[in-house]
Amino acid sequence: MSRTINMMSKAHTVKGQGVLSAYEEQVSLVQSHLDNLYDVRVNKLKFADIRHYHTINPEFFLTLPFAKVKSSTVGYVHFLPETLDKSLKLPKIIRRIVYKYVMEFYKSMDYLVTVNPYFIDKLEELGIKRDKITYIPNYVSAKRFFKLDKETNYKTRKKYGIDKNKFVVLSVGQLQIRKGIMDFVKVAEQMPDIQFVWAGGFSFKQISDRI
């Protein structure tokens, strides 16, 4: 009998953010490559051998005592309090509550997976044992992300007003300083012969920490 993984996420409630695409890619990866070993469930209110949390929603946190009865819990670390500070504009008191909650959620997990090796030392500094943290970079499917054929490439360039022969540098992310937008602009100014394109906006609307 195969083991069960319950992939938990509410990332779909905010469109255009990296956590959602990372979650979808990982669910697809597990379903396509480990289906002979694991029965993969998505947001099911049932016990599973592994409960894998991709987002830190309060409803997930409240069910942890019950989940831990029969499940090992794994939390994905897509951000830290310090990175939230550079992503969202929150009143001081709300910010303190949110930061405390984030760390309580992480500390409640049996294991943590981080997409950024820089986070390992930071998590340890914040009181989490190093041996419960594993670094696994985000996965991107070659079936979904691949080089376009010339005709499609030209049509796409025409749609967005880009010369078909222009060398293009593309960055995808929210318009935040911590994403490197100012460095991107500086480099673009120094290389006028190259077309620089930034795809992304303000996923969290009014509370986004804008440039």
Please write down the HEC assignment for all residues of 40-103: EEECCCCCCCEEEECCCCHHHHHCHHHHHHHCEEEEEECCCHHHHHCCECCCHHHHHHHHHHHH
pTM: 0.73
Cβ atoms of 40 and 76 closer than 8 Å: no
Mean pLDDT of all residues in 173-183: 75
Q: Is 21 helix (H, G, I), strand (E, B) or coil?
A: helix
| Segments making up each domain of the chain, as ranges | 3-135, 150-207
Mean pLDDT of all residues in 40-65: 89
Cβ atoms of 195 and 77 closer than 8 Å: no
Q: CATH for 3-135, among 3.40.50.12240, 1.10.1060.10, 3.40.50.2000, 1.10.1040.10?
A: 3.40.50.2000
Mean pLDDT of all residues in 163-182: 81
pLDDT at residue 182, rounded to an integer: 86
Task: List Cα–Cα distances, 195 to 52, 152, 157, 198, in angstroms.
Answer: 40, 18, 11, 10
